[in-house]
Amino acid sequence: MTTMEVSYRYANRPSESVMRAIDSVREVYGIRKIRFKENEQVILIEYDASRFKEPVVINLLRRTGLDVGEKLVLT
Measured CA to CA, the distance from residue 72 to residue 7 in angstroms comes to 5
Dist. CA 39–CA 1, nearest whole Å: 31
What CATH number corresponds to the domain at position 37?
3.30.70.100
Tell me the per-residue pLDDT of 31-69, one tens digit each, with 9 for 90 and over. 999 999 999 999 999 999 999 999 999 999 999 999 999
Give whole-number Cα distances, 64 to 45, 52, 61, in Å.
Answer: 14, 18, 5
**pTM of the entire predicted model:** 0.88
pLDDT confidence bin for 74, thresholds 50/70/90: low
Where in the sequence is the domain holding 9, given as residue range(s)? 3-72
What is the number of domains present in the chain? 1
C-alpha span between 52 and 28 (Å, rounded):
11
